Amino acid sequence: MVFDPHVAPRERDDFMAWYEAQTEWTEEHSYDDPRITSPSLANWFAEMMEVFPPMNGPFASNDYDNPKLTDYSIGHSFIYAAFAWSQAESAFEVVDRLAVKHGVGFFDVSGEQGGIRFP
C-alpha cells in the first residue's frame, strides 16, 4: 500500500488504526478511479500501471493472462495494490522505487515486519 504521507499518522499504532479504517472501504466512491486520489498518488499509479496494469477501472487491461495484472483499490489518501504471488519480488522493487520517486509512503502489508516508510 502506498499512501499520502501528509495524511497518515507517523506513530505505528496510530498508523495501524488508520490503515484498518481505510481498509473498511467506507469512502463513497468507486475504488478503481485514480482521479479521486492525491496528485502524488495519481502520478505513482500512472507510472506503476505501465509495469503492472490494472484489472479494473478506466485503465483496465484486456490481457487477462498477464501475470502482472494487478488489483488496485484507490482511496483519497492511499492506493492498495494486490499482486500475484509470482510477482511479489519484482512488484516490491517497483512499488518501493516509485514511492521514493513520487514522494509517497509505503506500507509493506505482506511483509513479516509490516514495514512502514515515509518519504
Note whether residue 27 is domain-resident: no
- Whether the per-residue pLDDT at 111 is higher than 80: the answer is no
The angle that helices 39-51 and 88-102 make with each other, rounded to 10 degrees, is 150
- Whether the per-residue pLDDT at 113 is higher than 80: the answer is no
Backbone angles phi, psi at 113, to 5 degrees: -90, -15
Note whether residue 88 is domain-resident: yes
Tell me how many domains the chain contains.
1
Domain with 13, as residue range(s), is 2-20+33-56+69-117
Using an 8 Å Cβ cutoff, are 51 and 66 in contact? no
pTM, two decimals, is: 0.93
pLDDT recorded at residue 112: 75
Distances (CA, A) of 44 to 74, 100, 112: 12, 10, 24
